[in-house]
C-alpha cells in the first residue's frame, strides 16, 4: 500500500496511522505553508520538501531505504534556508533528483555535515546533517519524479 500525503491532508494524524501498517509513504511539503518537518516511518519512504527556495524544511526518513527528493530549480542560495536531512544513510538512502542529472550536482563539507549543491549556480539542494562528504558518491543519487 502506498499513500501520498501533504500537510493539507491531515499529515500528522495520517502519518501515525500509516506507520502502524508499515506502509510506504510519499510525503511532500506544500510550498505555501512555509517551513515544515517531514517524518517518514520504518518503510521505504519518499520525502519531498516541495517547490520554492528559501524555506528550510527538515526531513527525517526513518529506518527504511528512503529517497529524499529535490529540485535544482528550488535550490536555496543560503544553507540557513536550505532543506535539511537529519538521518541520511549513505548506500541505503538516496537523493532523488527531480530535474537534473548527477553530473549537475556536487557535494562538500559544511558546518559539520555535507551540502549538496547545483554546480551551475552553487545553490544548495540539501544539507545532510552529520554526514562526511567522503561517504557520498554518485550511487547515492537517483533520477526520479515525485510520485
CA 12 from centroid of its chain's CA atoms: 18
Quickly list H helices, 8-76: 11-20
% of the chain with per-residue pLDDT over 90:
55
Pick 8 or 93 by higher pLDDT: 93
Q: Taking the model in full, what pTM does it have?
A: 0.80
User: According to the model, what pLDDT value does residue 128 have?
Assistant: 98
CB contact set of 9 (below 8 Å; sequence gap of 6+): none
For 51-110, write each residue's pLDDT tens digit. 666 678 899 999 999 999 998 988 999 999 999 999 999 999 999 999 999 999 999 999
CA 108 from centroid of its chain's CA atoms: 17
Amino acid at each position: 500500500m502506498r499513500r501520498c500525503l501533504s500537510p493539507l491532508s491531515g499529515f500528522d494524524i495520517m502519518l501515525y496511522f500509516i506507520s502502524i501498517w508499515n506502509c510506504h509513504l510519499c510525503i511532500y511539503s506544500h510550498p505555501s505553508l512555509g517551513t515544515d518537518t517531514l517524518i517518514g516511518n520504518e518503510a521505504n519512504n519518499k520525502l519531498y520538501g516541495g517547490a520554492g527556495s528559501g524555506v528550510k524544511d527538515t526531513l527525517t526518513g526513518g529506518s527504511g531505504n528512503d529517497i529524499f527528493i529535490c529540485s535544482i530549480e528550488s535550490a536555496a542560495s543560503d544553507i540557513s534556508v536550505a532543506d535539511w536531512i537529519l538521518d541520511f544513510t549513505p548506500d541505503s538512502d538516496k537523493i532523488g533528483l527531480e530535474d537534473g542529472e548527477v553530473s549537475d550536482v556536487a557535494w562538500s563539507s559544511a558546518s559539520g555535515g555535507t551540502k549538496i549543491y547545483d554546480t551551475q549556480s552553487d545553490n544548495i539542494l540539501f544539507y545532510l546533517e552529520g554526514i562526511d562528504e567522503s561517504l557520498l558518491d554518485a550511487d547515492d543519487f537517483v533520477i526520479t519524479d515525485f510520485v
